Structure 1
Amino acid sequence: MSRSVPTDSRLDKTPASASATGTGVSYVEAGEGEAGQRIDNFLSRILKDVPRSLVYRILRTGEVRVNGKRAKPEHRLAPGDRIRLPPLQRKTDEQRAAERSAPSRSLRDFVSGAIIHEDRDLIVVNKPAGVAVHGGSGLSAGVIEALRATHPELKELELVHRLDRDTSGVLLVAKRRAVLRELHALLRERDMEKRYLALVVGRWPFGAKTIDLPLKTNLKQGGERVVRVHADGQQAITTFKPLQHFGKLATLLDISLGTGRTHQIRVHAAHAGHPVAGDEKYGDRERDAKLKPFGLNRMFLHAHSLTFERKGAKPFSVSAPPPPDWQAVIDKLKQGLKS
């Protein structure tokens, strides 16, 4: 194993302590385990946060010395060899931690490909199911982190609202804080129309129905935090309209929100006796199982459209089609009705 060796003050005037920060010359000594190893591979291993291209550059320019002599990349080490390393700009622990939590290239590309509208004030994403809107709860990154990484020039990117991880559909992101404040005001005043599509289990028997029941969050059930209809909760208003019945198996609903509480649609639908299909938290596993042959493998809730009017601007409306796997399940259910 290699070990750090203090800088020789007779050879270099940089203090030995500088080697820890990567701002001064430092020395390492090759151990028994490095016998016969090429110097380029040795350096790449001990300088994990330095690009390999830089390793070859400092070798080529003679900044790396072995026992006081220049070394070519193919030079083989011997135990006890003393290797001089030039000053290098090394990454801090904070920088390395930030890189580990940074969104992956695949996530950035995935989110960028899901953008359905962009203007000087807004980005609208058709968020895929299974992608979180932000990092947390074991996830290092979500939609907002991916957008910030893709557009570092946009310093004020913020989520206007949130969607559950397993909910797909329209997600608004404001480019400027002034826009964010304006849209938050519309949400508070209920001047933003939010419409969803949901597949619920069973045959919805009520026709068009508005459920106005308060919801309370953080009620624990089996150690898990859930939302429940509760007299001490906040007002929550949801209007359900059936679009299509699939026998007794399921119903496709158009849903509009009068309020925007956490898990509002899911809890109100479950309270009505027809939970959202595939909802693992509030759903009905036995009835979900009957939909598995039709391709049900996740929660079927989709934020379909948003409509609002900003001051001095034309009404803004955006909609997002359900994802292909959603349509595939609907098509199979339709075929099931015919057979």
Structure 2
Amino acid sequence: MTEAPPPSDNVRQFTVTEDDDGIRLDRWFKRNLPQVGFATVSRWARTGQIRVDGKRAKPEDRLEQGQTLRVPPGGDEPPAGPARKAAPRTRVLSPEQIAEAKAMVIRETPSAIVLNKPPGLATQGGSKTTKHVDGLLDAFVTGEKTPRPRLVHRLDKDTSGVLLIARTPGSAASFSKRFASRSARKVYWALVVGNPDLAEGVIDAPLAKQPGTGGEKMHIDEENGAAAKTRYRVVDNAGQRAAWVELEPLTGRTHQLRVHMAAIGHPIVGDGKYGGPDSFLTGAVSRKMHLHARRLIISEPKTGEGTGGKLDVTAELPPHFAMSMEVLGFDQSLSDASPMRDEAPERSGEEKKQAARRHFKQARKEARSPRRSRGDVVAPKAKKPAGKPAGKAAPKAAAKPAKSPANRARPAPKAPPKGTGGSRGRR
């Protein structure tokens, strides 16, 4: 937030920064001017006192970096009643927790912190989960002006590998858009039971929550499931015992890779949830799940001079996965975890707007009923033959439609009584 420092009784001018790019106007106030309540923001917007680049704005409008926000004076009065103690911005972590968080870091940039998440550590907390990555992010808050890093995607608790953390709200919004648009490229390594008949392919099977599991388990649902696609490639195999595969999710459904591999008869080694007892190999192969987010390629937001561009990160295998690779005779150098699908060039914002306009115009054109243009020539009606063709009976007249009550003829007037002189009555 950038502000020119006028007196408090004058109109204030703010410039929307990169950190606030894309947020709602009411959220901007909550973040930058928390003393101004939502009711005040709504009243200012309704009466036109709030202006964005000189135009009226609504609380739900989204802001863009570089816009000028005009804020009227006032709204700084403290709320009535006893003052409430503000909640602390960060959690107090022990030295061991801080060291654990710092040990996971494999790359740091002005916009991101990239972790190599170990298996067994949840990404977020839950009703029975007290230790998780989100709870350790306070280790990266170095001062009052340092925003708390934010999660922008997740890995299952037993999945290891690359986990991207955004440093600021602005970079979080930027990364989230890239994940949502599928422009981010993720490649996983997995060990699966058996050896797929096809060395590579695409698994296209819709997924939905499995009834009776409380949403904890997914299953394939051809009728009501959400679209889910996974591209896979076999890197190497140990006969029919196991195979080392690369997986690239083309969609982002819960447990997608695990369900898809189990669906084609090759569950991920150690994934008892979807593979059952058959997912565990005998011998020295670990019973832990062997699914690892090996590589992530994503565009970084431009936060300053020399920033932006592609962020390409690779995470080393956890010890149990590396040991199983050795036991099965797999050489990690056989793969660099390159994405298997062609990368489409990322379009600019203006290109996306133009494409949306073209799509809208085409949709309207197709929705319109066909109309005859002014220059169309109407074909003349065929003339009826002068005489009836010989040997053919005249067509029967079409039955007349029944008259509606409104169209029925009125009854004829009654004849006048005798001796009345016609229609004239007595005088």
Aligned to 2:297, which of 304, 307, 321?
307
Q: Are 1:106 and 2:92 matched, yes or no?
A: no
Counterpart residue type for residue 240 of structure 2: K
* Residue 224 of structure 1, CA deviation: 7.0
- Equivalent position SS for 1:110: helix
Q: Is the alpha carbon distance of 1:311 and 1:148 closer, same or farther for their aligned partners in structure 2, counting shifts above 3 Å?
A: closer
Q: Are 1:123 and 2:118 matched, yes or no?
A: no
Q: TM-score, normalised by structure 1?
A: 0.65
1:201-228 deviation digits (Å, cap 9, x = unpaired): 111222111011111125325x673101
5+ residue gaps, structure 2, are 1-84, 303-307, 331-427
Q: Is the alpha carbon distance of 1:123 and 1:228 closer, same or farther for their aligned partners in structure 2, counting shifts above 3 Å?
A: same
Q: Are 1:225 and 2:216 matched, yes or no?
A: yes
Q: Is the alpha carbon distance of 1:105 and 1:315 closer, same or farther for their aligned partners in structure 2, counting shifts above 3 Å?
A: same
Contact 2:267 2:279 in 1 (8 A): no
1:212 aligns with 204
- Equivalent position SS for 2:217: strand
More strand by share: 1
Counterpart residue type for residue 322 of structure 1: L
Distance 2:236 2:221 in 1: 30
1:112-155 deviation digits (Å, cap 9, x = unpaired): 10100011110000000111112224121311211214525343
* Residue 235 of structure 1, CA deviation: 1.0
2:59 aligns with none
Aligned to 2:158, which of 166, 169, 185?
166
Counterpart residue type for residue 266 of structure 1: R
Contact 2:186 2:293 in 1 (8 A): yes
1:334 aligns with 329
Q: Is the alpha carbon distance of 1:141 and 1:244 closer, same or farther for their aligned partners in structure 2, counting shifts above 3 Å?
A: same
Counterpart residue type for residue 306 of structure 1: L
Aligned to 1:257, which of 249, 253, 256?
249
Contact 2:104 2:115 in 1 (8 A): yes
Q: TM-score, normalised by structure 2?
A: 0.52
1:135 aligns with 125
Aligned to 1:324, which of 308, 319, 323?
319
Contact 2:271 2:279 in 1 (8 A): no
Counterpart residue type for residue 251 of structure 2: T
Distance 1:119 1:287 in 2: 39
RMSD of aligned C-alpha atoms? 2.3
Distance 2:219 2:185 in 1: 24
* Residue 333 of structure 1, CA deviation: 1.3
Q: Is the alpha carbon distance of 1:212 and 1:142 closer, same or farther for their aligned partners in structure 2, counting shifts above 3 Å?
A: same
Q: Which runs of 4+ in 1 moved over 4 A?
A: 102-105
1:147 aligns with 137
Aligned to 1:197, which of 189, 198, 206?
189
**In percent, how many aligned pairs have the same letter?**
33
- Equivalent position SS for 1:138: coil
The alignment covers a number of residue pairs equal to 236
Contact 2:230 2:257 in 1 (8 A): yes
Contact 2:288 2:320 in 1 (8 A): no
- Equivalent position SS for 1:299: coil
Distance 1:309 1:118 in 2: 14
Contact 1:112 1:147 in 2 (8 A): no
